[in-house]
Amino acid sequence: MTTLNKLMTSSVITVSPETVMAEIVSCMEQNCISTVVVVRKKLPVGIFTERNLLRIKTAGTFDFSMPIQEVMTTRLIVVKDDLESREAYQLLLQHNIRHLIVVDIKGLLAGIVTETNLFHHLGLEFFVAFEEINTIMSPNVMALPEDNSVLAAMQLMNNHSISSVIIIKNKVPTGIITERDVVRLTAADIDISTTPLHEVMTSPVQSVTFNMPSHAAADLMKSKGIRRLVVTDEKGRLVGIVTTTDMIKGFKSDYTALLKEVIETQAEQLQEVHRQLDEKIILESIMHSTTDIAFAVADLHYRIIHYNKAAEKIFGYATDVVLDKTIPEICEQEGLDYDVCKNINKTIKEEGKFHSIYKMLRGDRTLHVEANIFTIRNNKNIIQGFVLIAKEITELIRTGEHLKQRGTELEETNAALRVLLKQRGEDKKRLEYKLQSNIDQLVLPLFSKLRNTKIDPVQDNIINSIEANLLEVSSPFAHQLSSLYTKLTPAEIQVANLIKNRHSSKEIAAWLNLSVGTIYTHRRNIRKKSGITNKKINLQSILTQLQ
């Protein structure tokens, strides 16, 4: 478990509430920072970020002489330095913010945590689960021609709450304006309403092709110290953007907590999980787990390209020793039989995996190690590399006899649970019947009476929508859709619900207060996730068949 005191930025620039904006902007530019914390007697009382500066610049209320206390954000999200990292990420999502103020046990400022801190904390093991960058990028990119003014770009960022605008010429990205540039241009005191973008934009822009692996993109962002990459097609035309926010979307607190629970279970529970989880889920679980899981990644030439700390502890080799070495070289050094290694390699290529439990001597200790080797395949089922996952199970082996003795007791408990689950299923059916009956007898008749009153077309439309949604509450559609398409987001399920009821994209956009383009994006995602590849197939017809 990683706490904030291990990944936060502790060297925070702080200022007093009376500090004027001229000093603030100069400080942010010179130190290349996105935020300053306002303190009084070491107690945080406010925060000022690049986005705060963008807001007052576009509003025309910026003044170099104004004190920061007039424009700082005073509603702070403050957390303790022992907070776990995934809980911190959940707070960022919940409050739609990018900075958390970290304090010590006395409430004094200890540091600051951003999405960038989380991004740099995640290793290659986190990004291996993703495929090409086009699966996580944002396709809806805000872009402007080179001759537009700086003010137009700032207004676009402010109105859409985004951190950058891409500058294009003939659909090809030629530069970028970011919130960091807003600081730079404010410090230079340029006329943002008359200065064209091509004079001040950051150029050339750091771009990548849409088929670049996500882990390679993450490495590039870390090495360059940047927070975003512009994504282009094979002709260099703009197709999307990927940010640190996009990169860490898989860092879900509930999900990682479940994986940790799976890994820390005892022998019998762990074996049950191994039987039920397929190759992909096992790989994701181990790679997102706590540090007692060892893993190594090798390419097609069996050269080791990643090796974590747990592997060092179990196998006895330091990372700098094994990186760029091949597995055959390690096997030879360990004195392993060549034919045994050859048979293991054959099994992996034919079956896609290899499992073994074996003993290792480490000094005067005998370790029991459970190892799994999997192939890494692309979407065309072609092998791209190999992953070795291992865990020391010495204690599990020692407690095996004890677990056997508890087998009968656990089976009796399972039988009782099955009876309880059956009873809950019957209770659920009774509740569903009662809900359906109440809606049919008590609620729906009221809509007929309401329609007999004097109502205008807009009110009639709203009544129809309420009635349709109420019927959905009692229909099995939403549950079936969620069960069938487990990859759909809640927003996509809501859109699918309305599509099934024969509502147009324009109507759906109006009811959900979204743009029509966003609804089209949801429709494409629903088609993709439900396996509908033929564009001639009517999505509404398919969804109707789910009833």
- 387 pLDDT higher than 90: no
Give whole-number Cα distances, 485 to 427, 540, 545, in Å: 26, 15, 14
C-alpha 517, offset from chain centre: 23
**What token pair was written down for 11?**
């060297």
Asked if the model's pLDDT at residue 462 lies above 90, the reply is no
What domains appear along the chain, each with residue ranges and CATH number?
Answer: 4-118 (3.10.580.10), 125-247 (3.10.580.10), 254-391 (3.30.450.20), 475-547 (1.10.10.10)
Is residue 436 very low, low, confident or very high in pLDDT (cuts 50, 70, 90)?
Answer: low
pLDDT band at 478 (very low <50, low <70, confident <90, very high): very low
Highest-scoring range by mean pLDDT, 243-257, 262-276, 462-476, 488-502:
488-502
Per-residue pLDDT tens over the stretch 21-35? 999 999 999 998 999
Beta carbons of 50 and 182 less than 8 angstroms apart: yes
Cis-peptide into 145, omega within 30 deg: no
What are the DSSP E strand ranges found in 154-265? 164-169, 172-178, 207-209, 228-232, 238-243
Paired sense of beta strands 238-243 and 228-232, if any: antiparallel
Calpha distance 142→247 (Å, rounded): 19
Residue 18: pLDDT band (50, 70, 90) is very high
Task: Find where tokens 């996952």 sit.
Answer: 389
Burial of 256 (0-12, 13-18, 19+ CB in 10 A): buried
Distance between start and end Cα atoms, the chain: 44
Could you tell me the sign of the dihedral formed by the alpha carbons of 265, 271, 275, 277, in that order? positive
Q: How confident is the model at residue 356 (pLDDT cuts 50, 70, 90)?
A: confident
pLDDT at 402: 63
- Average pLDDT on 307-320 reads 82
Higher-scoring residue by pLDDT: 485, 470: 470
Question: For the ranges 3-12, 49-58, 131-140, 266-275, which has the lowest average pLDDT?
Answer: 266-275
Q: How confident is residue 352, by pLDDT bands cut at 50, 70 and 90?
A: confident
Could you give the strand order of the β-sheet that contains 35-40, starting from the edge strand earlier in sequence? 14-15, 35-40, 43-49
Encoded tokens for 428:
């659920």
pLDDT for 124: 56
CA 165 to the chain's CA centroid: 22
Does the pTM exceed 0.75? no
DSSP state, residue 107 = S
Write the CA distances from 301 to 25, 355, 438, integer angstroms.
51, 21, 66
Higher pLDDT, 33 or 489: 33
CB 24 within 8 A of CB 15: yes
Q: Tell me the β-bridge partners of 177.
A: 165
Query: Can you tell me the distance from the alpha carbon of 372 to that of 388, in angstroms, rounded to the nearest whole number?
Result: 6
Residue the block writes with tokens 């398919």: 542
**Residue 388 and residue 373 in contact, taking contact as beta carbons nearer than 8 Å:** yes
DSSP assigned state of 488: -
| Per-residue pLDDT at 265 exceeds 60 | no
Segment of 265-274, 326-335, 516-525 carrying the highest mean pLDDT: 516-525
Per-residue pLDDT reduced to its tens digit, 226-253: 889 999 998 999 999 988 887 777 554 4
Sign of CA dihedral 280, 285, 288, 289: negative
Q: Looking at residue 237, what is its pLDDT?
A: 93
Backbone phi, then psi, for 113, in 5-degree steps?
-125, 130
